[in-house]
Structure formats: C-alpha cells, structure tokens
Amino acid sequence: MKKTEGDFGREYAEWGQAQEGFDSPVDIDKILGQTVSIPDGDYTKMVSAGIENPNARDYWEGFNSFFE
C-alpha cells in the first residue's frame, strides 16, 4: 500500500510526541501561510516515495489525526 501525505504527517507526530513542546495538534491554516509548510526531510521522503507535489494540508491533517 502506497503511503499518503497524511501517513507521513502522522508518523511525524508519532516521532515528535517524544520531543518537548510537540504535544498537540497544529493550526493548519497558520502553517499553510508560512514559507515552508512541510518539514524538508518529510517533503523529500514523500517525493522519493512517488508523491508528486505533496499536499501540505493533507500532511498536517494526518499530523493532527494522531492527537484525536
């Protein structure tokens, strides 16, 4: 099964749970207004996995789903 942007976002949240200050959902609209809306490493991983033009909203929705 091919991983989606949401899968990558959720994995980032799982990893980040152990990091200080990384313990809650994010404001997706605020992040989408920033210059970099997907962490570089994850963007590169998604492109390498065959996701063309990764969707930042889907990524962060996956991230937030970890906290639901």
pLDDT tens digits for 12-50? Answer: 999 988 887 777 899 999 999 888 889 989 999 999 999
- Domain of residue 35: give its range: 5-65
Dihedral sign from CA coordinates of 34, 46, 14, 10: positive
Helix, strand or coil, per DSSP, at residue 38:
coil
Residues 13 and 66: beta-carbon distance below 8 Å? yes
Task: Name residue, tokens 């980032």.
Answer: 12
Dihedral sign from CA coordinates of 48, 67, 56, 18: negative
**Tally of domains in the chain:** 1
pTM over 0.85: yes
Q: What gap in Å lies between CA 60 and CA 66, rounded to an integer?
A: 10
Q: Does residue 53 have a pLDDT over 90?
A: yes
